[in-house]
């Protein structure tokens, strides 16, 4: 790891982390073997696959994943209809104790879920605390399978139920209590507030977003197709990051509770963005499934280099930096208007995409004259569409002279 890595040290509530990267609950933390592998590679912490009472049968289907891929086969969005841990509580108690002994400087969080009966949650929480878990995370946010049983996101969509459950678990454990929130709500803040009122020390968000990945147009089967049928699943990966960022920033603007950002963290830049909107650390699932736990090397190297380049002493100095810039639409400036300009004319390949887009989706301000793109300043409304779709970066948005807005 680079020498500057002390800048990556961070804390989330009372949890101290060597860097802000944790594996989130999922297939990459389904066994002690995988968690040890991730710790060897440098992950600062891990949240176990959600542990359930032994009496709750976990019967997975196959296939249980579907992917939305870009033209280069890179992952854009991921759907899963996977259930929870198939390992017994005794397995996890043994592994938590052993892993904490082998990696005392890493943070091991036990994710739990049980029936709506709070006593079952209390029993699980007590068991993982006794095993030596650093914290317990309440999964009130899984959007598939479990809501049909009145738990998972079905529970996490009701502020009152979240408050009661959190309060019940708070009553039996002394280790930090994390509540993992569902994005499948109209407003996440009341649920976040209820968790804090119930005694949560830390909030993590987001769990997956309920979705239907697609339809196989040959067979007309919904995807992922399990013998021809499917169900609504959980959406994750790069496509969900904007929603995760919104929700973390919304909570950070309203409540002063330590936050872990989750959803679409694939590169160090994503983590930096979550931290800039108020997260103290991030959790990662899909990208590790897709690219392996070794991505931690680029994540830590990239983030540490960024902090140094931008003169942030550490992760804490970056935290929340972007929040003052997020507000209401009405508060946005109407006088500081941007204008599209041709910044690198020599790069223009005369593809005409900007012309078509501005003609049909904009203000008819862009034209090609003798194979060169030209922007009519008087027609340009500053929307930014042409600069976004230009494949060569020829067009950029430049601030107009202050006060000369349309
Ligand atoms: C296949 C799969 C299984 C998951 N299982 C769990 C789980 O058991 N418990 C849980 O709290 N979250 C679970 N999650 C949700 C992730 O922890 C995470 O909140 C979500 O995927 C968004 O992060 P990502 O975009 O980095 O994957 C699962 C996600 C995936 C993709």
Q: Which domain holds residue 348?
A: 338-399
Task: For residues 236 and 255, give the distance between their C-alpha atoms in angstroms, rounded to a whole number.
Answer: 25
Task: For residues 27 and 287, give the distance between their C-alpha atoms in angstroms, rounded to a whole number.
Answer: 11
Residue with tokens 């509530």: 13
| Domain shared by 344 and 226, yes or no | no
Say how many Å lie between the CA of residue 247 and the centre of ligand 1: 16
| Domain shared by 202 and 316, yes or no | yes
pLDDT beyond 50 at 139: yes
| Domain shared by 278 and 221, yes or no | yes
Q: Residue 51 has what pLDDT? A: 98
Task: For residues 99 and 76, give the distance between their C-alpha atoms in angstroms, rounded to a whole number.
Answer: 33
CA 362 to each of CA 181, 342, 357, 359: distance values in angstroms, whole numbers, following the listed order: 38, 17, 6, 6
Q: Which atom of ligand 1 is nearest to the CA of 236?
A: 25
Check if 142 is active-site: yes
pLDDT beyond 60 at 4: no
| Domain shared by 354 and 316, yes or no | no
The CATH number of residue 233's host domain is: 3.20.20.70
Per the CB < 8 A criterion, the answer to whether 70 and 4 are in contact is: no
| Domain shared by 314 and 350, yes or no | no
The residue among 263, 295, 325 that closes a domain is 325
Q: What is the band of 400 on the pLDDT scale with cuts at 50, 70, 90?
A: low
Q: What is the band of 401 on the pLDDT scale with cuts at 50, 70, 90?
A: low
Say whether pTM exceeds 0.85.
yes
Say how many Å lie between the CA of residue 285 and the centre of ligand 1: 6
| Domain shared by 263 and 363, yes or no | no
What is the tally of helices (H) and strands (E) in the chain? Answer: 13, 20
Quick one: what percent of the chain has pLDDT higher than 70? 97
| Domain shared by 294 and 353, yes or no | no
Task: For residues 237 and 79, give the distance between their C-alpha atoms in angstroms, rounded to a whole number.
Answer: 9
| Domain shared by 65 and 143, yes or no | yes
Q: Whose CA is nearest to atom 3 of ligand 1?
A: 26
| Domain shared by 254 and 345, yes or no | no
The residue among 325, 350, 379 that closes a domain is 325
Residue 166 domain-assigned? yes
Q: Residue 289 has what pLDDT? A: 98
In the chain, the number of structural domains is 2
| Domain shared by 35 and 66, yes or no | yes
Cβ neighbors of 9 (< 8 A, separation 6 or more) are 16, 17, 18, 19, 314, 315
Residue 330 domain-assigned? no
Q: Whose CA is nearest to atom 30 of ligand 1?
A: 26
Cβ neighbors of 106 (< 8 A, separation 6 or more) are 18, 39, 43, 44, 45, 46, 99
Q: Could you read off the pLDDT of 270-291 as tens digits, one per residue?
A: 999 999 999 999 999 999 999 9
The CATH number of residue 386's host domain is: 3.30.70.20
Which candidate in 142, 285, 358, 380 is catalytic? 142
For the chain, how far is it from start to end, CA to CA, in angstroms?
51
Say how many Å lie between the CA of residue 397 and the centre of ligand 1: 37
Say how many Å lie between the CA of residue 203 and the centre of ligand 1: 15
- Which of 234, 279, 290 to mutate for ligand 1's pocket (most ligand atoms within 8 Å of CB)? 234
Residue 331 domain-assigned? no
CA dihedral 238, 141, 288, 56 (to 10 degrees): -150
| Domain shared by 284 and 344, yes or no | no
Q: Whose CA is nearest to atom 29 of ligand 1?
A: 26
Mean pLDDT of 49-61: 96
Quick one: what percent of the chain has pLDDT higher than 90? 93
pLDDT beyond 70 at 402: no
Pocket, ligand 1, Cβ cutoff 6 A: 24-27, 49-50, 78, 80, 82, 84, 111, 139, 142, 180, 207-208, 234, 236-237, 240, 262-265, 284-287
Q: Could you read off the pLDDT of 178-221 as tens digits, one per residue?
A: 999 999 999 999 999 999 999 999 999 999 999 999 999 999 99
Q: DSSP string covering 210-279, please?
A: EE--EEETTTTEEES-BTTB---EEEESGGGHHHHHHHHHHHHHH----EEEES---SHHHHHHHHHTT-
Ordered alpha helix ranges (H), 103-176: 118-131, 153-156, 159-170
Say how many Å lie between the CA of residue 80 and the centre of ligand 1: 8
């Amino acid at each position: 790891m680079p020498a500057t890595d002390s800048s990556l040290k961070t804390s989330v509530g009372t949890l101290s982390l060597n860097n802000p990267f944790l594996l989130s609950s999922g297939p990459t933390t389904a066994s002690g073997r995988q968690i040890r592998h991730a710790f060897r590679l440098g992950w600062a912490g891990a949240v176990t696959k959600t542990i359930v009472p032994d009496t709750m049968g976990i019967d997975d289907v196959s296939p249980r994943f579907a992917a939305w891929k870009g033209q280069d086969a890179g992952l854009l969005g991921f759907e899963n209809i996977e259930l929870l841990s198939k390992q017994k509580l005794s397995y996890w108690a043994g592994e938590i104790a052993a892993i904490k002994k082998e990696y005392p400087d890493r943070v091991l969080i036990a994710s739990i879920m049980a029936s709506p009966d709070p006593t079952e949650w209390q029993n699980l929480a007590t068991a993982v605390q006794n095993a030596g878990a650093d914290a317990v995370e309440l999964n009130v946010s899984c959007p598939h399978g479990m809501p049909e049983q009145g738990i998972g996101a079905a529970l996490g969509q009701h502020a009152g139920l979240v408050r009661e459950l959190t309060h019940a678990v708070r009553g039996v454990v002394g280790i930090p209590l994390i509540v993992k929130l569902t994005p499948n709500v109209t407003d996440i803040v009341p649920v976040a507030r209820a968790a804090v009122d119930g005694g949560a020390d830390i909030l993590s968000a987001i769990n997956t977003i309920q979705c239907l990945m697609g339809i196989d147009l040959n067979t007309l089967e919904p995807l992922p197709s399990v013998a021809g049928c499917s169900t609504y699943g959980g959406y994750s990966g790069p496509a969900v990051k904007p929603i995760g960022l919104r929700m973390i920033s919304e909570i950070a603007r309203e409540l002063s509770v330590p936050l872990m950002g989750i959803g679409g963290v694939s590169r160090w830049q994503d983590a930096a963005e979550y931290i800039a909107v108020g997260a103290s650390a991030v959790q990662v699932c899909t990208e590790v499934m897709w690219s392996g736990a070794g991505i931690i090397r680029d994540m830590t190297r990239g983030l540490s280099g960024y902090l140094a380049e931008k003169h942030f002493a550490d992760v804490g100095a970056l935290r929340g930096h972007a929040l003052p810039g997020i507000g209401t639409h009405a508060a946005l400036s109407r006088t500081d208007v941007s204008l599209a300009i041709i910044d690198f004319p020599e790069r223009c390949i005369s593809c005409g995409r900007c012309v078509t887009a501005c003609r049909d989706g904009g203000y008819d301000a862009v034209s090609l004259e003798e194979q060169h793109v030209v922007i009519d300043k008087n027609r340009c409304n500053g929307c930014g569409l042409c600069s976004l779709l230009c494949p060569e970066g020829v067009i950029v948005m430049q601030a107009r002279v202050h006060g000369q807005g349309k």
